Each structure stands twice: as structure tokens, then as C-alpha cells.
Amino acid sequence: MKNNELTTEMVPVQGALAPVAFRRSVRAAKISLRIDPAQGGIVITLPPRASRRAGLALLQTHEAWVAEKLAALPRALPFLPGAMVPVHGIEHVIRPVPAGRGGAWIEGREILVTGEPEFLSRRVADCLRRLARQRLTALAAEKARHAGVTPRCVRVKDTRTRWGSCAPDGTLAFCWRLICAPEFVQDYVVGHEVAHLRHMNHGRQFWALTEQLTAHRIAASAWLGTHGPALLRIG
């Protein structure tokens, strides 16, 4: 297994099979495990010389904790006809339009999807990613003007551990699933990352600038703490 390469297998955890992804990392000093809420499974990170067997031993040691965390995960929300998917925190129903053309788009509180059923999930995801790119890019540009900074670029990605990030070169990246969260949550996450363009830390000046850029720090942090795991189960 190469560095950062993932191999996945099904492993019994207290009588139920669960997906376990093994990840090799040269930066890992010891074996670790975490729950992946997006996939509803387990990730075991192995240092270069650690064996898969050692990773499974760690899993067995914490089997009760892992089973409890897996059972507490929100229900997955796949993109299927009739599914209710939040956009800006407001539920929209997926409605197929088999004879239509144009992929997928939103009208009122519906996500209309054209084409054959096997393309529906991908087209809904593409639609939401497109909306996320438009919304978060515009929001970042607006807040950057207020802060007197300029991002190198804004990317929308399928991130699993962070809602947003700011790279040293000024690139901002956001999880596309933020488009499913209420607008005040989007506002806070973007404001937080734009503030990092000036302060690459979490010191007093950083938080002072963040609070100039967004008024939703406390409410949005609380919302993500409660609803973030469910957000990662969408799609």
C-alpha cells in the first residue's frame, strides 16, 4: 500500500459488517482510527511499517466505541427520485423529468432532473456543486473586498474533514455540501476562511477580523456541531 492509498474491506464490528478503509501515511507516528461520517465507515491510518493486522487489533480494542459511533451516525440521504434534499437549509424534492433536457436545475422547491434514471444521482450532485461554486465564490469575493485581501482562487471540493480551508498560497477551498446548509452557516464558513488570508492563525486579530466579516460565528458553529454529520451523509 502506497502513501495515502486507500484499501477498503468489510469487517465485523459487534456482529455487523462495517466498511473499513486502511490508509498508509508517512506522516503518521502511530496507528489511529476514526469514523468517516460521509461513508458511514471506519478509517484506520497506518504508519509506514505498521501492518493491517495491527490496525485491526486497534479496532478490536475499541470495538464498542466504534459500534456506538457508527450507530449514532445520521441516516444516509442518497439522491433518489422523491428524496428531500436541503438547499440553503430548505428542503427541495428531487423530481425526474425523463423527457426533458438540460441536466438538473432548481425551480421553486424542486430539483428537476432530466435523462435516464442511472444519471440522476450524478446530475443532482453536479447541480449542487455548480450552485455551491457560484454562491461560495461570490461570497468569498464580497468578503475579501471588505477585508482588503485577494484570494488566489476559490475551489469547491468533496472534503470530508473540513468545511473550508485556506492554503498558504491564498487558495480557498470549501466543501460543496455547504450549499445544503442555511445561508448564515455558509456566511460564517466563508468569512472564517477569508480572514485566514490576512491571519494564518486563530489569534485575537484573526477572530476580530472574522467577526467583522460575519455576524454568525456562534450560531453557525453550533449548527455545524449539531447538523454537520448529517450534512456529510448527503449524496
pTM, to two decimals: 0.83
pLDDT in tens, 121-141: 999 999 999 999 999 999 999
Q: Residue 96 forms beta bridges with which residues?
A: 113
pLDDT at residue 40, rounded to an integer: 87
Q: Would you kindly state where each structural domain of the chain is located, as residue ranges?
A: 6-72, 84-125, 132-231
Neighbours of 41 (CB within 10 A): 19
pLDDT in tens, 79-127: 999 999 999 999 999 999 998 888 999 999 999 999 999 999 999 999 9
CATH code given to domain 132-231: 3.30.2010.10
